[in-house]
Structure formats: structure tokens, C-alpha cells
Amino acid sequence: MRKMLQFVRLNQAMPAKRSADERRKDFGEIYQEWSDGDAGDQASRCEQCGIPFCQVHCPVQNNIPDWLKLTAEGRLEEAYAVSSATNNMPEVCGRICPQDRLCEGSCVLEQSTHGTVTIGAVEKYITDTAWERGWVKPVTPQSELSESIGVIGAGPGGMAAAEELRKLGYKVEIYDRYDRAGGLLIYGIPGFKLEKDVVERRVGLLEDSGIVIHKNVEVGKDISFADLRAKHSALVVATGVYKARVLNCPGVGAEGVHAAMTYLTASNRKDLGDDVPAFNDGALNAAGKNVVVIGGGDTAMDCVRTAVRQGAKSVKCLYRRDRDNMPGSQREVANAIEEGVEFLWLSAPEAVLHDSDNQATGVRAVRMRLGTPDASGRAKPEEIDGSQFVVPADIVIEALGFDPEDLPAMFNEPALGLTRWGTLKTDYRTLMTTMDGVFAVGDIMRGASLVVWAIRDGRDAAANIHSYLQARGAEEPQRLKKAS
């Protein structure tokens, strides 16, 4: 049995990565599998802090020191039980969470320059082992309840809420506008970060648990919001945010300028074996082309690394701040650089250049410098006069973030209140919207954020719905008594 606090003897290590030359050729995950010994050794580096800052900075409050200790001791089934007790998709979070900004970035060993415990890799290993050995089981509620809950959106927030509600015994039905469940996990995140069978087996587990998933159903068109409210005891809105922010400069209407999600969805569909006309005709295929991605978040990193795998002639990322101020994961930036992506730091687009046929030919950009902090506390980029330059581009991808769609209009339900940012207005304690019995989780409630926060919201909403329905059930006999 391994002892803990082995950071004095063992160096930090990640699972081996496939070579950049090899991984540029496919969309498979880039990290190789760990052995029991390697995972246990890295878990044994944990200090078992009295105040576990890794757990404090985990949105789902994972009991990280506990399952690291169990892993070090070889008690993997117990480690999985502890890990999955607070997280509905630990195999997903272990792959795509920006651990360098959350648990690992808060690790005491990282702060003391010993190198963080590689928490995400251990989490992935534990859960993949659990799936392989049959420890992951469908939900079997202790008792069945009469109420049913409708969930709009089959992304991570909706899936987490559905599973937690099913554990409590509710009948749960999910409605999703796409032909596959998974939302962003299926169509937004490339396979080299999250292979699609990982998501599909999690969806299958929900269906095996008795959760009904209705696909290709758009609320407001195929079924009305009012009908859903009448059918179910409560609703969860978990649609995410998909309205792309667009460039505000001349030439953005040129052929070859695409929103990040349009580009990524086409690539992911192709990877899933779908027929994608816009990919087949070359519009969304980067092969042999100069690609410029504008933005500095994780979506931008997904786009540049996808373009590399499609065989682009060149891939450049244009970002108006420097590397230290990028909002995306530094680990993803490093992976992109290894794979041949060129980053043009402190550069902002001025215009998309195009030929007489309106086909994009390049991006005119300007050099920036960081000035005084803005309202967010970050240094504000300022243009350097006379520093314009041109970057050749056949495809320009806008990866500037996402805003909410107009749900009251889409659902034909004006009673759904909105914040000034366009997200659904909710009570922060209960996550209930301005409509009784209608709750909201994830990005549509908090704005574009992380998968792990959507999972946290889904879990919280499920608990709040249960309290809401129990309270309503307790009030009903009192109303009947008064009426009589």
C-alpha cells in the first residue's frame, strides 16, 4: 500500500502524449492510457491538506483528497464511488475541465513549486476503469414517484439534472432539438479532447435508467412550452447558449468567414460518420487552406487544432492580448503550439480582405499593447498606430464567445424573464425562473461558462425541484381542507 505525501520522492507526471506528428493525422484523444501503478503513484503525491483548496475550487466540490488516497491504496472501486458521488460525468470532466484554472491550479503543491497533483488525469483513469470493470450502473430509485419532470436540452446541465431527478424516483423526459443527445459534448468539443463514444455511453446509461430522450424536438415548433408545462410537474431549461458573437469590422460578410460552432459542428458530424454537404464541398474543410482563428478561449483552441487535423496549409490564432492573459486553458495552448499552430499575440482584426468574388483572402490586423486595467481588472488592449499587417486567410473563424438566444420568443412564452445579458432570470437560491415550477441551469442561466458548472447547476436544480414539489404536495391537503 502506497504512502501519501510522495511529492518529495516522485515528480509530477501526466500520461504520455502521442507525438504531435501522429496526433495531427486523426481526431483520437492525444493522451495514452495510464497503468494502475502510474495513476497510484501520481495520486500518492497528494499532501492530504487540512484545507483542500483543490476541492474548494472545484465547482462540484469533488472530494479530491479522498479519492486520490483511495487510488493510491489501489481501492479503485471505492475511489470511483467517491468521485461519482459529487459528479455525474467524472470521465468527461477529467478530460475537458481546465484543471489548470480550477483544482490543479489551486493545489498547494503547485503553489509551492513542487508541481500539482495531476488530478484530472487520475479522475479520468478512475472512471474509465470503472466503465471497463462494470462498476458504472444505471440508476435504480428506491421508490417511484408519481410526478414527472421535463428537461429541455440534452447537454451536460440537462443530463445531470435528469440523472439526479431519476435517483429521487421521478419520471424524467428530455427534449432536445438535435439528432443526438449530448449537446456541446457531442457537436462542440472535438474528439481529440473527448471521443464521442465516451458521451454516447453516458447517454445510454441515462436511457437504461428509464429516462426518455426525445430527439429532433424543438420546443416552440414541434411542441409548445405550454403543453410541456401542462404535461410535467416541473420543467428544467438547459438549452445552453449558441448565438455566436460576430466580428465588427469590414468584410465579415465574405465567403469563408464562419462562426466557430458552425465549423466545429461540421467537423464533429464528419467524425461521427454523417454526410456533411458543407464539408464535402470544401466550405467547412480546411484542407490545403490558410486558416485564421480569431479569439483566445477554449473554443478558439478547438478550432485551430481541428484545422490542423483537417490538413490546413497554415493555422494562425489572432488574439488581442498576450499569452498570459488568454482565457483558455494554457495546457490547450501548449498542445496547439506542439501541433504547429502559430499564435499572433497582441493582434486584433481590422478587416477581412476579399477578392472580386467576395471570397476571403486575408485578415488585416493591427498590433496591440496592454494599457491600464479595464472594468474587469484586466489590462486593456490599445492599438499601436501604423502597425497594420496582413495575414493570408482562405477561412476565417470567429471564436469570440456566445450569447443567449431569445428564449421567450423561441418558446412563445413572454412570461420567461430575462436579465440584461439575455440569460434567463432565476432566483439564485432555487434556480427557479420567473415562471412557477420552471427552473434553469447552465449557460442559459449563468452565461457562457464551463461544462462542470452546468453539471453543478443541474445537480442543484434537481435538489431544489424535489424540495419545491414536496412543499407543494404538503400544501395541497391544506388547501383542500380549507376549501371543504
The continuous run of DSSP H or E covering 397 comes out as strand 395-398
Bridge pairing between strands 389-392 and 360-373: antiparallel
Distance CA 202, CA 236 (A): 19
pLDDT along the chain (484 residues), means of 10: 86 94 96 88 94 95 96 96 97 95 93 92 96 97 96 98 98 98 96 97 98 97 97 98 94 96 97 96 97 96 98 97 89 95 97 97 97 84 96 97 95 96 97 98 96 98 97 64 44
How many of the other CB atoms lie within 10 Å of CB of 418? 15
Residue type, position 236, single letter: V
In this structure, are residues 138 and 115 in contact, taking their beta carbons and an 8 Å threshold?
no
Distance CA 225, CA 232 (A): 11
Q: Is 283 exposed, middle or buried (0-12, 13-18, 19+ CB in 10 A)?
A: middle
Distance CA 359, CA 255 (A): 5
Tell me which residue of 186, 275, 244 sits closest to 396, measured CA to CA: 244
Q: Which residues pair with 148 in a beta bridge?
A: 171
Give the per-residue pLDDT at 44: 95
Bridge pairing between strands 402-403 and 171-175: unpaired
In this structure, are residues 318 and 293 in contact, taking their beta carbons and an 8 Å threshold?
yes
Q: Is 247 exposed, middle or buried (0-12, 13-18, 19+ CB in 10 A)?
A: middle
C-alpha dihedral over 452, 454, 457, 459, to 10 degrees?
A: -70
Distance CA 155, CA 151 (A): 10
Residue owning grid cell 410535467: 232
DSSP code string of 419-443: -TTSSBP--TTT-B-SSTTEEE-TH
Tell me which residue of 71, 83, 65, 80 sits closest to 2, measured CA to CA: 71
Domains present along the chain, CATH in parentheses: 6-132 (1.10.1060.10), 148-241+404-483 (3.50.50.60), 245-401 (3.50.50.60)
